[in-house]
Structures are given as C-alpha cells and as structure tokens.
C-alpha cells in the first residue's frame, strides 16, 4: 500500500486563535447581558407596578386623592427598582379614568470600558383596564342596555 501525504499548511494550527476569539465574543455577549437584563427587568417591574397603582387608584374609597396616591405608589416603585433620579412621573385624571406616565433614560455599558454605551429609553403610559372602568361605546355603536 502506498500512502500519499500532502502538506496542508492551511489546516494546521490556529485552534488557539479561534478559541480565544470565541471566548472573547462569548465574554462580550455575557457582559452586555449582565448589564442590560437588570435594567430591562426593572422597566418591566415598573410597568407592572404602574398598572396596579392606576387600577387601585380608581378603587380608593373616601376622600383620598387618587392622583396623589397613584403618584406615591409609582415613586415608591421607582425607588425600589433603582430608577435614575431624573425620572418624570405624570399622573392625570380625566373624568373617571386615571393615566400615569413615566419617562426616563438610563445609560447601559454594552461593551466594557465605556466603548459602547446604549441609552435605554423608557416611556410608558398606564391606563386602567377591567371591570372598574366604564367602557364607552365606539363611534357608530350604541351602548348596550342591561336586560
């Protein structure tokens, strides 16, 4: 039997280089996720707290001011979720409906050493939904009367 050996220089070596490149890419993705996920989780927690505060603000008994109560609850949520200090909280009441709006920007270091910084913009308006809110008929529809 004859074995022919061809010299394939392009197939030799560079495994260490490929491993290092792969580990660097995995490290960068892990760093970005480590910095981004807590900020996104806080934003979703604030959205949930806003919806709860607006809905409970409609159900307040007595002479308590629903706008002040909702604003206080959202401010407590902002402190609990470590939002930036320049957060804008706006609570308005129109008739029976309350709306709460929260706006803030939070910088996130995506790449290490401040090479790339992402500006996470949060702008959410919470309006109540459910059985506490009278559903007004849309244009062209008539209101249903109970039987």
Instruction: Judge contact between 104 and 82, C-beta under 8 A.
Output: no
What pLDDT does 87 receive?
A: 96
SS3 state of residue 22: helix
Per-chain mean pLDDT for the chain: 85
Lowest-pLDDT choice from 5-19, 62-76, 119-133: 5-19
β-sheet bridge partners, residue 121: 105
Helix, strand, coil % in the chain, rounded to nearest 5 = 45, 20, 35
Whether residue 116 is predicted with pLDDT greater than 70 in this model: the reply is: yes
């Amino acid at each position: 039997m004859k074995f022919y050996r061809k010299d394939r220089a392009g197939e030799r070596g560079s495994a260490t280089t490929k491993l290092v490149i792969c580990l660097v890419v995995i490290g960068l993705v892990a760093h970005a996720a480590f910095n981004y996920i807590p900020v996104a989780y806080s934003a979703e927690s604030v959205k949930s707290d806003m919806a709860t505060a607006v809905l409970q603000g409609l159900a307040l008994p007595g002479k308590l001011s629903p706008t002040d109560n909702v604003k206080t609850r959202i401010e407590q949520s902002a402190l609990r979720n470590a939002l930036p200090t320049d957060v804008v909280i706006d609570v308005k009441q129109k008739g029976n409906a309350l709306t709460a709006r929260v706006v803030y920007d939070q910088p996130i270091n995506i790449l290490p050493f401040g090479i790339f910084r992402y500006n996470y913009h949060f702008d959410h308006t919470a309006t109540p939904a459910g059985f506490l809110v009278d559903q007004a008929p849309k244009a062209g529809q008539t209101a249903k009367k109970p039987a």
